[in-house]
Amino acid sequence: MSQGRVPGNGQSGRGPWTVIVPVKSSARAKSRIRLDPAMRRTLALIMAEDTVSAAVGATPVGRVLVVLEDSRDGAMLARVPRVELFVTDTDELNAAIRDGLAALGPEPGPVAVLPADLPSLTAAELTGALDLAAAHPRSVVADRAGTGTTLLAARSADLLDPRYGAGSFAAHVAGGAVPLDVPARSGLRRDVDRVDNLRSVTGPRTRAVLKLLAWPAPVGPEFAGG
């Protein structure tokens, strides 16, 4: 686990994607989901593990850097093969992403950011989105509500320009990011902010935890993850 620079991959402009996944401290994460605090913390980390696993498995992805607010959360995420961990000293999302970018070293090649609450995301879905993103200098995918951002991608780190916060999708589009046409049923758009969002989760690790909580299984083709 690093608090300094992570070696770059030597690519410039083209080549494998680097995916940054910022992870809020699990002690604060998903506060709107009313569960026992210890279980909510576990659920937040398991959702992050499903998200990171999908990113690692995506064909165009060469590196996955998890930017941790709390170093204690790293033990669970380190279980994912080939993931790199970096601890930031800020709890502000855009600043944490910029710290991650700086840690990649010079010329990391194309870079994308994923939130840590996409437990239904599959490697194939991310592969498809990054293939679309490769056609644009900067691009963005909206969450299911159409207001937040679930993927921000750029051909180079200097073009990324993260603008997360309320209305981040509109802010990214206003900054020049091209919206990508990703189906609403895709796991890339199905972030988890509220307890009712858990109904549609299909990620294997998260489903296992929800099964322990006797959560209903997802039903219907809209939850197929395609």
Number of domains in the chain: 1
Which domain CATH number covers 153?
3.90.550.10
- Predicted confidence at residue 216, as pLDDT, reads 61
**Per-residue confidence at 166, pLDDT binned at 50, 70, 90?**
very high
- Predicted confidence at residue 217, as pLDDT, reads 57
Per-residue HEC secondary structure of the chain comes to CECCCCCCCCCCCCCCEEEEEEECCCCCCCCCCCCCHHHHHHHHHHHHHHHHHHHHHCCCEEEEEEEECCHHHHHHHCCCCCEEEEECCCCCHHHHHHHHHHHCCCCCCCEEECCCCCCCCCHHHHHHHHHHHCCCCEEEEECCCCCCEEEEEECCHHHCCCCCCCCHHHHHHHCCCEECCCCCCCCCCCCCCCHHHHHHCCCHHHHHHHHHCCCCCCCCHHHCCC
Q: Is the pTM of this model over 0.85?
A: yes
Is 111 a member of any domain?
yes
Is 4 a member of any domain?
no
- Predicted confidence at residue 211, as pLDDT, reads 82
Q: Does residue 4 carry a pLDDT above 70?
A: no
Is 75 a member of any domain?
yes
The pLDDT tens digits of the residues spanning 106-162 come to: 889 999 999 999 999 999 999 999 999 999 999 999 999 999 999 999 999 999 999
